[in-house]
């Protein structure tokens, strides 16, 4: 029986404070599960005198990282400082000093996950990162343990709370993107610089982590095709609704045969799709397995306490392994070499909104451009355009087309004399719903 476990924290922002709070509030439950007390021994901070949401004995605080990662009594390092390059060095040093590491850092794991996991394994240490994807939702455990025996072929995720909040409000109130973004910033759901969220980069990092685990293949961040939501308009959302779809920012990781496609893009889902009802700042990951069929994991994607819950659950995992003496053995190295689909192998339906000059034969010219490449339409909507009687608005939903054909069509469309503007173009997911 161990006397107690000593934990060192790198960072004491909102998530770090959440970890301290949970360790304090749930001491009994944790003690019952792991058989010994957990003690926070040292905390790396930037400013020793800052006011914080939790009380931490000032003697525990330090501004010198070595006080944490070189302390021989510290068993587990919890990394909640964020950042990538410097943080990577701290995590590597911790592992080489035989300290287990729990992190919530998706940027770090998306960029250096394979390297860090290998070093952890060499040093007999655990490196857990459940909190890095979808905050409080235990999705990584679900993939690794719960669906261990199944072959997963599709993962679709709403894995960014900021963009889901914005799209939900736009859809509910018909508001404009800029207004909702401002509201989200005021509420603290969006950063002052929202780029990483609204341009899909945050979601892309999480999808790289999910795809790597789910398909047992090293998927890098640059393997993910990314399109954000900053150009989504209320018109796009209204037309989506009218056609029976909900517009969401969807991270998609699709496997067919041995090849994989990973992307993040605004996507129209049939209203009946389980992800279509995931609203506000909530996240969800939809997983399709050959045997199990459809499953979905839903919950808060961020927030200090949900994220801290995932971190402390990982800490419990580390401690159970310590008790059993089996740390560093749970990571399984990727089973497959990376094989990505090329554009000619990526098939999907598309939503397209264009402004067309009101000329005889205009529509025929457009359709022939599609039919030359064998692409036909599932839905067509043509409407006069308010305030412009020389233009018409056309909304098309195609049947399945390869990304290569579709991109060629888009280039040619933009060149056509009868086209005034291609307003928007999104992927469409799922079956033949209204």
Tell me which DSSP letter residue 136 carries. Answer: T
Handedness of CA 282, 287, 292, 294 (dihedral sign): positive
Query: Of 280, 270, 277, which Cα lies nearest the Cα of 302?
Result: 280
Question: Residue 369 has which token pair?
Answer: 């451009």
Q: Which is nearer to its own copies, 130 or 405 (CB)?
A: 130
Binding window for its own copies (CB under 8 A); candidates: 68-76, 81-89, 233-241, 303-311: 303-311
Please give the Cα distance from 75 to 63 (Å, whole number): 19
Q: What is the dihedral of CA 201, 204, 205, 206, to 10 degrees?
A: 130
Q: 152 - beta bridge partners?
A: 289
Tell which one of 16, 200, 266, 306 touches its own copies (CB under 8 A).
306
The yes or no reply on residue 78 touching its own copies (CB under 8 A) is no
Q: Which single residue is written with the structure tokens 């161990």?
A: 2
Distances (CA, A) of 350 to 139, 406, 419, 424, 430: 29, 8, 18, 10, 11
Q: At what angle do helices 106-122 and 201-215 cross, to 10 degrees?
A: 30
The yes or no reply on residue 298 touching its own copies (CB under 8 A) is yes
Contact assessment for residue 253 and residue 210, using Cβ atoms and an 8 Å cutoff: yes
Minimum distance between the CB of residue 142 and its own copies, rounded to whole angstroms? 5
| CA geometry: angle 273, 276, 279, nearest 5 deg | 150
Q: Which is nearer to its own copies, 122 or 290 (CB)?
A: 290
Contact assessment for residue 47 and residue 11, using Cβ atoms and an 8 Å cutoff: no
Binding residues for its own copies, rule CB under 8 A, total: 57
Expressed in angstroms, the distance from the first to the final Cα of the chain is 62
Tell which one of 54, 84, 176, 332 touches its own copies (CB under 8 A).
332
Question: Residue 348 has which token pair?
Answer: 């999907």
Tell which one of 86, 115, 122, 145 touches its own copies (CB under 8 A).
145
Contact assessment for residue 421 and residue 354, using Cβ atoms and an 8 Å cutoff: yes
Tell which one of 8, 200, 317, 328 touches its own copies (CB under 8 A).
317
Q: Which 96-135 residues touch its own copies, going by CB under 8 A?
A: 130
Binding window for its own copies (CB under 8 A); candidates: 168-176, 320-328, 404-412, 421-429: 320-328
Binding mask 233-272 for its own copies (x = CB under 8 A): ----------------------------------------
Please give the Cα distance from 299 to 105 (Å, whole number): 19
Tell which one of 310, 352, 409, 419 touches its own copies (CB under 8 A).
310
Tell which one of 335, 337, 361, 387 touches its own copies (CB under 8 A).
335
The yes or no reply on residue 326 touching its own copies (CB under 8 A) is yes
The yes or no reply on residue 329 touching its own copies (CB under 8 A) is yes
The yes or no reply on residue 148 touching its own copies (CB under 8 A) is yes
The yes or no reply on residue 25 touching its own copies (CB under 8 A) is yes
Q: How far is CA 289 from the centre of its chain?
A: 19
Q: Which 31-50 residues touch its own copies, going by CB under 8 A?
A: 32-33
* Catalytic annotation, residues: 206
What is residue 425's three-state secondary structure?
A: strand
Binding window for its own copies (CB under 8 A); candidates: 97-105, 142-150, 178-186, 242-250: 142-150
Binding mask 268-297 for its own copies (x = CB under 8 A): ------x--x----x------xxxxxxxxx
Tell me which residues touch its own copies (CB under 8 A).
Answer: 18, 21-22, 25-26, 28-30, 32-33, 130, 136-138, 141-142, 145-151, 216, 274, 277, 282, 289-300, 303, 305-306, 308-310, 312-313, 315-317, 320, 324, 326, 329-330, 332, 335
């Amino acid at each position: 029986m161990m006397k107690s476990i000593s934990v060192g924290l790198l960072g004491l922002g909102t998530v770090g404070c959440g970890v301290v709070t949970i360790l304090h509030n749930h001491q009994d439950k944790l003690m019952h599960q792991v058989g010994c007390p957990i003690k926070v021994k040292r905390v790396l901070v930037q400013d020793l005198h800052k006011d914080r949401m939790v009380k931490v004995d000032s003697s525990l605080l330090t501004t010198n990282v070595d006080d944490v990662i070189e302390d021989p009594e510290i068993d587990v390092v919890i990394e909640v400082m964020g950042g990538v390059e410097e943080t990577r060095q701290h995590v590597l040093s911790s592992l080489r000093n035989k300290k287990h590491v729990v992190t919530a850092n998706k940027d770090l794991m998306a960029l250096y996950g394979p390297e860090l996991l290998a070093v952890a394994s060499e040093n007999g240490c655990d490196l857990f990162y459940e909190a890095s994807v979808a905050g409080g939702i235990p999705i990584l455990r679900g993939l690794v343990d719960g669906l261990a025996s199944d072959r997963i072929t599709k993962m679709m995720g709403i894995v960014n709370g900021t963009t889901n909040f914005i799209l939900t409000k736009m859809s509910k109130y018909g508001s404009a993107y800029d207004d909702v973004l401002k509201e989200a910033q005021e509420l603290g759901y969006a950063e002052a610089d929202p780029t990483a969220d609204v341009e899909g980069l945050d979601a892309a990092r999480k999808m790289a982590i999910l795809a790597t685990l789910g398909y047992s293949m090293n998927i890098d961040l640059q393997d993910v095709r990314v399109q954000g939501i900053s150009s989504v308009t209320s018109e796009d959302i209204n037309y989506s609704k009218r056609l029976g779809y909900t517009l969401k920012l969807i991270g998609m990781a699709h496997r067919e045969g041995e090849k994989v496609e990973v992307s993040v893009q605004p996507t129209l889902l049939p209203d009946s799709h389980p992800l279509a009802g995931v609203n506000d700042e909530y996240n969800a990951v939809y997983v399709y397995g050959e045997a199990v069929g459809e499953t979905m994991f839903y919950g808060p994607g961020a927030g200090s306490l949900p994220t801290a819950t995932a971190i402390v659950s990982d800490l419990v995992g580390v401690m159970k392994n310590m008790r059993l003496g089996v740390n560093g053995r749970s990571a399984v190295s990727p089973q497959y070499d990376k094989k990505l689909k090329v554009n000619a192998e990526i098939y999907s339906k598309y939503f397209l909104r264009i402004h067309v000059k009101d000329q005889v034969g205009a529509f025929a010219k457009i359709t022939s451009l599609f039919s030359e490449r064998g692409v036909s339409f599932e839905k067509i909507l043509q409407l006069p355009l308010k305030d412009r009687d020389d233009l018409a608005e056309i909304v098309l939903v195609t049947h399945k087309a390869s990304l290569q054909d579709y991109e060629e069509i888009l280039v040619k469309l933009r060149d056509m004399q009868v086209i005034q503007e291609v307003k928007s173009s999104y992927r469409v997911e799922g079956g033949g719903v209204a």
